């Protein structure tokens, strides 16, 4: 089954907004086995929108239109789809009522043209999820005797995602005749390069390919490490989960503590969780990283219950792993926490390979330090250094892993 | 004149990479007055690439193909363009030599297939800028008796930009028959909402529209404030510059110290520049903002010559403008700098409007503080708070502005 994506909006063509929606949709279509061979951006122009959607319907089974569902005269996606379906628009009273309620709830008067959003092509269904004032649409139609479908979702990313996940992806799978469930899990790893990780798991991936039960894909994600996505197809969600759990266990046996988390977990969310669980507080000293560590952690711990404080300063004569350890202890003692961590650069960069950083953690049961040479420009080295330090702490908090 | 953008790469359709190139190209085409009515993403597939480029040539005068110029078998943009031109490919010895040199310079053996990148369709010219191993191409052709052109540039963003700025944009302007120069300048403002700024400048914009000398566009850019782009068209660069300088002066008279910088300047680059110029050092105290201020400033001052240090901590009982002032003085005294700055949230958030933050600067000639209520979710409030504090410092360093 093929599904094209049409992103609507003159602001996309003018580069005022980057179209991230099509990428997200393409990724999620691929995950359920649907090909997206073309993705087109087109401005808010009736003729060009109509031509684009018609062409997409000629070469594909389904089209997802993203954007152009707002209340202004520019927003004509509804009208264009009605024209292609060859039908009139009719006002959906339930939607109209809902839009009125939203404005009342905000205590604001509703401009009358907002009710345009409640106009629906005859024969189209509205999408149940409606996080904003624009309803999404499922518009079935027949082209040259073939059943096809056009979906309309808003351009606001979180509204689009909610409708895609709640309705469109399932509807596409149903239409594709696929009855099995596709489910996937992402294993988050740190410390491997992409090719080294692929090599380590090569035999396993090969045997998987033969069995056909699951597939594995690698995705290099910069300071987020390498993501390993395990995807399984099965008759039920439970069966797919079981295949994935078995896969994850096999992979964990091979790459062990390079795995720091799963799915939406990040290095800092994992470390914060471990500290919370153990009732430990932490402070950090940063020179090279200039506050990035504090920024990332306080985003998840805004009241600073676990991360009690950070010091950003040049460390003067401190150097090497010993220097980082002194900085970690100093942060711990200054703020009065259970744990101190620190990352510093060399005092004489010329005496070390480019990108050398020293990371140290001062724990209740002793200190641990690590030296690494990180690749890239300074901004990249700074970010990598933060993750390197958090990874050192993670491994020391859970040495049994 | 019309120019379409075709972004090539299966990874774009799969959402593994977000296509930011088309947005950048669209923005820069608009700046020189060229319409881009369609932008298409297509995978590394000969038939679909050929169909897409042919269709783009039917409805536009020029096509920019972005991506598919690498050394692997997947990279077929050169071949597709040669087929559309109806010509063979010929190896360009100068380019081949250059590619060999690049590999030698890196001390690495060159895989033989890298020379594919030196294959050029007969009749195409190579683009002089060549920051990587992939040359860009200018491929003139005739469609139904009309002269058209296809440009091929790499998908690597900085390589694409260098070729666009060095060759493609000028070539397009020349082909469009436009002999006048278009030049623009961005005025960076803080403290106005988009509609308030537009209202303040409304009379001025109207008189501009009548004179036709210059145009003004507003762009809301989140924590980067509102950008005001002044664009002028003239017979020479100097004449355009003169129009813009006069415009900027008129606008500055109306919005005064809401202007913090121009073009690529940021709030932190401007403040750092002012401190450097005055030979002043600075320290910061952060609670609410958790290190964002230190991160942004140290990115521009990695050796911490001006920004000597920061403290990230909860401030306990400190509250209000007085509390922020105490925190600013404490940071200054702890690190031993000329200036201390701090931003804190209320100790009892329920006692203040949502998003309330207190910013303070402790300067050699006295302290200054400010209370603001910032909109949005916490991550947004944190970022806005940093800019609010830096803007307070900026205005106090240059009260004559």
Residue B213: pLDDT band (50, 70, 90) is: confident
Please report the pLDDT score of residue A399 as a whole number.
Answer: 67
Q: Which of B14, B291, B293 sits opposite A26 (nearest CB)?
A: B14
Phi, psi of A146 (to 5 degrees): -105, 135
> How far is the C-alpha of A32 from the C-alpha of A34, rounded, in Å?
6
Q: How far is A29 from chain B (nearest CA, A)?
A: 8
- Domain residue ranges of chain A, discontinuous segments joined by +: 3-175, 181-262, 271-397
Chain A CB contacts of B24 below 8 Å: 15
> Contact A39/B36, CB-based, under 8 Å?
no
Chain B CB contacts of A335 below 8 Å: 313
Q: How far is A208 from chain B (nearest CA, A)?
A: 22
Burial track A346-376 (b if 16+ CB lie within 10 A, e otherwise): bbeeeebeebbbbbbbbbeeebbbbbbebee
Residue B400: pLDDT band (50, 70, 90) is: low
Q: How far is B291 from chain A (nearest CA, A)?
A: 5
Would you call B384 helix, strand, or coil by DSSP? helix
pLDDT of A140 higher than 90? yes
DSSP structural state of residue A165 = I
> Contact B23/A24, CB-based, under 8 Å?
no
**pLDDT: is B362 or B399 the higher one?**
B362
Q: How far is CA A363 from CA A79, A329, A331, A332, A397, in A?
A: 64, 9, 12, 9, 9
Q: How far is CA A221 from CA A225, A227, A244, A323, B171, in A?
A: 5, 7, 22, 31, 37
CATH topology of domain A181-262: Alpha-Beta Plaits (3.30.70)
> Contact B42/A43, CB-based, under 8 Å?
no
> Contact A17/B40, CB-based, under 8 Å?
no
Residue B110: pLDDT band (50, 70, 90) is: confident
Q: Which of B41, B43, B314 to mutate to test the interface with A (most CBs of A within 10 A)?
A: B41
**pLDDT: is A202 or A387 the higher one?**
A387
Q: Which of B6, B8, B20, B23 to mutate to test the interface with A (most CBs of A within 10 A)?
A: B23
Q: How far is A89 from chain B (nearest CA, A)?
A: 27
Q: Does domain B269-397 have CATH number 3.90.950.20?
A: yes
Chain A CB contacts of B290 below 8 Å: 294-295, 297-299, 302, 304
Q: Which of A22, A27, A31, A41 to mutate to test the interface with B (most CBs of B within 10 A)?
A: A41
Please report the pLDDT score of residue B223 as a whole number.
Answer: 85
Chain B CB contacts of A18 below 8 Å: 18-20, 23
> How far is the C-alpha of A34 from the C-alpha of A390, rounded, in Å?
38
Q: Which of B12, B23, B28 sits opposite A18 (nearest CB)?
A: B23
Q: Which of A17, A290, A314 sits opposite B299 (nearest CB)?
A: A290
pLDDT of B365 higher than 60? yes
Please report the pLDDT score of residue A4 as a whole number.
Answer: 98
DSSP structural state of residue A2 = B
pLDDT in tens, A291-312: 999 999 999 999 999 999 999 9
Would you call A47 helix, strand, or coil by DSSP? helix
> In the numeric block, which tokens belong to residue A158?
């979180």
**Cα B245 to the chain's mean position, in Å?**
22
Please report the pLDDT score of residue A183 as a whole number.
Answer: 85
Query: Whats the size of chain A, residue-wise?
Result: 401
Q: A376 and A356 in contact (C-beta within 8 Å)? A: no
> How far is the C-alpha of B184 from the C-alpha of B229, rounded, in Å?
7
Chain A CB contacts of B20 below 8 Å: 18
- Give the DSSP H or E segment for A215: strand A214-220
Residue found under tokens 């099965």: A234
pLDDT in tens, A24-72: 999 999 888 899 999 999 999 999 999 999 999 999 999 999 999 988 8
Q: Does domain A271-397 have CATH number 3.40.50.2300?
A: no
> Contact A15/B38, CB-based, under 8 Å?
no
Kindly report the CATH number that applies to the domain delimited by A3-175: 3.40.980.10
Q: Which of B13, B36, B229, B315 to mutate to test the interface with A (most CBs of A within 10 A)?
A: B13
pLDDT of A242 higher than 60? yes
ipTM passes above 0.95: no
- Range in A1-10, A233-242, B281-290 with the lowest mean pLDDT: A233-242
> In the numeric block, which tokens belong to residue B92?
């360009």
pLDDT in tens, B121-142: 999 999 999 998 899 999 999 9
């Amino acid at each position: 089954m093929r599904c094209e994506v049409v992103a609507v909006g003159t602001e996309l063509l003018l580069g005022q907004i980057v179209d991230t929606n099509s990428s997200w949709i393409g990724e999620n279509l691929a995950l359920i086995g649907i090909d997206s061979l073309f993705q087109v951006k087109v401005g808010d122009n009736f003729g060009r929108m109509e031509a684009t959607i018609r062409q997409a319907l000629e070469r594909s089974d389904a089209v997802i239109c993203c954007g152009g569902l707002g209340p202004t005269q520019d927003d004509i996606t509804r009208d264009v789809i009605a024209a292609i379906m060859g039908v009139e628009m009719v006002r959906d009273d339930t939607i109209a009522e809902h839009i009125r309620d939203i404005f009342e709830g905000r205590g604001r008067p509703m401009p009358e043209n907002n009710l345009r959003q409640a106009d629906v092509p005859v024969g189209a269904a509205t999408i149940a999820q409606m996080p904003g004032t624009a309803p999404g649409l499922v518009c079935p139609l027949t082209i040259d005797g073939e059943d096809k479908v056009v979906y309309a979702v808003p351009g606001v990313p979180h509204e689009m995602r909610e409708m895609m996940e709640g309705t469109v992806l399932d509807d596409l799978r149903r239409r594709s005749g696929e009855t099995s469930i596709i489910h996937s899990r992402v294993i988050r790893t740190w410390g491997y390069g992409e090719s080294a990780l692929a090599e380590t798991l090569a035999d396993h991936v090969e045997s998987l390919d033969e069995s056909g039960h699951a597939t594995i894909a690698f995705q290099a994600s910069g300071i987020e490490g390498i993501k390993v996505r395990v995807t399984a197809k099965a008759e039920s969600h439970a069966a797919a989960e079981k295949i994935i759990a078995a896969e994850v266990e096999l992979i964990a046996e091979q790459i062990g503590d390079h795995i720091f988390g799963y799915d939406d977990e990040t290095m800092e969310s994992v470390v914060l969780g471990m500290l919370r669980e153990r009732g430990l507080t932490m402070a950090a000293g940063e020179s090279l990283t200039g506050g990035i560590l504090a920024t990332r952690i306080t985003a998840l711990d805004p009241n600073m219950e676990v991360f009690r404080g950070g010091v950003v300063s040049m460390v003067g004569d401190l150097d090497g792993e010993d220097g980082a350890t002194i900085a970690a202890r100093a942060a711990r003692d200054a703020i009065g926490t259970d744990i101190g961590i620190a990352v510093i650069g060399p005092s004489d960069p010329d005496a070390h390979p480019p990108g050398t950083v020293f990371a140290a953690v001062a724990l209740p049961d002793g200190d641990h330090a690590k030296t690494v040479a990180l690749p890239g420009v300074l901004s990249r080295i700074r970010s990598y250094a933060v993750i390197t330090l958090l990874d050192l702490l993670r491994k020391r908090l859970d040495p049994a892993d």
